[in-house]
Structure 1
Amino acid sequence: MIKLSVNLNKIATLRNARGGNIPNLLQVAIDVQKFGAHGITVHPRPDERHITYQDVYDLNSIITKELNIEGKPIKKFMKLVLDICPDQVTLVPDSKNVITSNSGWNTMFYQNLLTEKISQLKDHGIRTSIFLDPNPELVPYAAKTGADRIELYTGSFAIGYNKKKWDCINPYILTAKAALKNHMLVNAGHDLNLDNVSFLIQKIPNLVEVSIGHSLISDSLYMGLENAIQTYLKKILSSYL
């Protein structure tokens, strides 16, 4: 079964809006795991506008399933992940002045930088993934860095899904096939939801993990957190049928 990793950034955003500890990020992480998610994703940005670096240290003590830490490989981020040694680190460009991630790496241009950082991570036994736009030409350069996986940035897929889903999925299929050819597995994340995740799963070969945060947390406002997680898990499972 494709794994569901729940991104907790929106929980931290809500907490930070009032400056207290409601909702309690650690308790939500405990509950998300109890309710059936396969893992937790956090993305501490350089400006720490939602998940903070200290949050990640605190979360590490209560994670019993897979922990995926996303972020830009600046010095502070690298210290964090090498201190914690999570199951997976996903390297993301984190451009300045953007509301959320909106593009992947140019692996040809940043190959040397990514190779250096990934080498450090793999020396500590950490599985590595590179956030990538749906462009098969970038995959061989991603493979040369030594990364284990790519994470497909699915923002453009989510935008195009309701209009021309067959057109918008093609670059993802080709990129995933290129990953398979280069002996890499595929993760996916960004704006995935109950409407579009099944189609993605059905069409993408060697997809092993989806990271979902914004939509799942938003759905939980109506459905409740446990029911939302269970609904996403059922949706993922039904995608095979």
Structure 2
Amino acid sequence: MGTVRLSVNINKIALIRNSRGSNQPDLAQIARDCEAYGAQGITVHPRPDERHVRFDDLPVLKAVVTTEFNIEGNPDPRFLKEVTNVKPHQATLVPDGPQALTSDSGWDTVKYHDFLVDAIAQLHAAGTRVSIFVDADEHFVEGAKAVGADRIEFYTGHFAKDFLKNPAEAVKNHVQCAKLAVNLGLGINAGHDLNLKNLKYYADQVEGLQEVSIGHALVCDALYFGLQNTIQMYLRQLNQ
């Protein structure tokens, strides 16, 4: 297995910043530090209410990120306008409603075929690689290929929940869908509720995994272990 890249989602850092109405912590400096500590990418997910990462953070972060800048979100008109202006390395399309607390499912890539084709075309025109957030379902993986996505990002929330009961059963669909994705020529990312307990198992089992995006669990661990040490701990889980 090749190296699996770790992209650190800094949304929760932005949430802390916003709670005091100032620039502390400095999100740009956090991004620089995460990269200095070993992160191979920075992920943000600006939501319509801007409760954590704001749209005006995007150009600031694009200017300082030297690894890979990944912007997640639902491709509504504002998101597409802001992201195509910033031109990140990757855009990850997520089917969150405006009031969503967090991402909890992937796209029905068949039902939303035309909508996704249009969004992806706009992002490709800006030179941005596009990943589609999907559940581990072969039907939706095939649909991601049909709409022109470059990669898929497996939603791993259900895996993380079921991992504690039966790891092999929890990862089974991801293993099968990853093989299909590789055969279709799709890159593979993964994210949601991956942590120090389940990450190594997932990365070892899923063929072709290229990148994981981790925010909430990593920030929680950093409260105890420190940010630099925590990033190194996650990297060791991925690439032992």
How high is the TM-score relative to the length of structure 1?
A: 0.96
Q: In structure 2, how many angstroms separate the alpha carbons of the residues matched to 1:215 and 1:119? A: 33
- Give 1:172's aligned residue: 174
Say which of 92, 98, 102 aligns to 1:90. 92
Q: In structure 1, how many angstroms separate the alpha carbons of the residues matched to 2:226 and 2:72? A: 26
- Give 1:116's aligned residue: 118
Q: In structure 2, how many angstroms separate the alpha carbons of the residues matched to 1:93 and 1:49? A: 18
Q: What amino acid maps onto 1:18 in structure 2?
A: R
Say which of 15, 23, 33 aligns to 1:31. 33
Q: In structure 2, how many angstroms separate the alpha carbons of the residues matched to 1:125 and 1:97? A: 30
Q: 1:198 to 1:148 in 2, by over 3 A?
A: same
Q: Is the 8 A contact 1:46 1:72 kept in 2?
A: no
- Give 1:142's aligned residue: 144
Please state how far the C-alpha of 1:133 moved relative to its aligned partner: 0.7
Q: What amino acid maps onto 1:169 in structure 2?
A: V
User: What do the CA deviations read for 1:126-180 (whole angstroms, capped 9, x no partner)?
Assistant: 1110000111111111101111100000000111111111111111112112211
Q: Is the 8 A contact 2:188 2:211 kept in 1?
A: yes
Q: In structure 2, how many angstroms separate the alpha carbons of the residues matched to 1:96 and 1:42? A: 16
Task: Give the gaps of 5 or more residues in structure 2.
Answer: none
Q: How does 1:71-86 map to 2 (within 5 A)?
A: 71-86=73-88
Q: In structure 1, how many angstroms separate the alpha carbons of the residues matched to 2:182 and 2:223? A: 38
How high is the TM-score relative to the length of structure 2?
A: 0.97
SS in 2 for 1:61: helix
Q: 1:111 to 1:196 in 2, by over 3 A?
A: same
Q: Is the 8 A contact 1:53 1:80 kept in 2?
A: yes
Q: In structure 2, how many angstroms separate the alpha carbons of the residues matched to 1:216 and 1:141? A: 31
Q: How does 1:40-119 map to 2 (within 5 A)?
A: 40-119=42-121
Q: What amino acid maps onto 2:87 in structure 1?
A: C
Q: Does 1:205 align with 2:237?
A: no
RMSD between superposed Cα atoms in Å: 0.9
Q: Is the 8 A contact 2:48 2:98 kept in 1?
A: no
Q: In structure 2, how many angstroms separate the alpha carbons of the residues matched to 1:90 and 1:191? A: 17
Please state how far the C-alpha of 1:125 moved relative to its aligned partner: 1.8
Equivalenced residue count is 238
Structure 1 outlier segments of 4+, above 6 Å: none
User: What do the CA deviations read for 1:21-71 (whole angstroms, capped 9, x no partner)?
Assistant: 221111111100111100100000111111000011221111111000001
Identity between Structure 1 and Structure 2 (%):
47
Q: What amino acid maps onto 1:229 in structure 2?
A: I
Q: What amino acid maps onto 1:227 in structure 2?
A: N
User: What do the CA deviations read for 1:183-221 (whole angstroms, capped 9, x no partner)?
Assistant: 101100001101100111111011100001011111111
Q: What amino acid maps onto 2:131 in structure 1?
A: S
Task: Give the gaps of 5 or more residues in structure 1.
Answer: none
SS in 1 for 2:42: strand
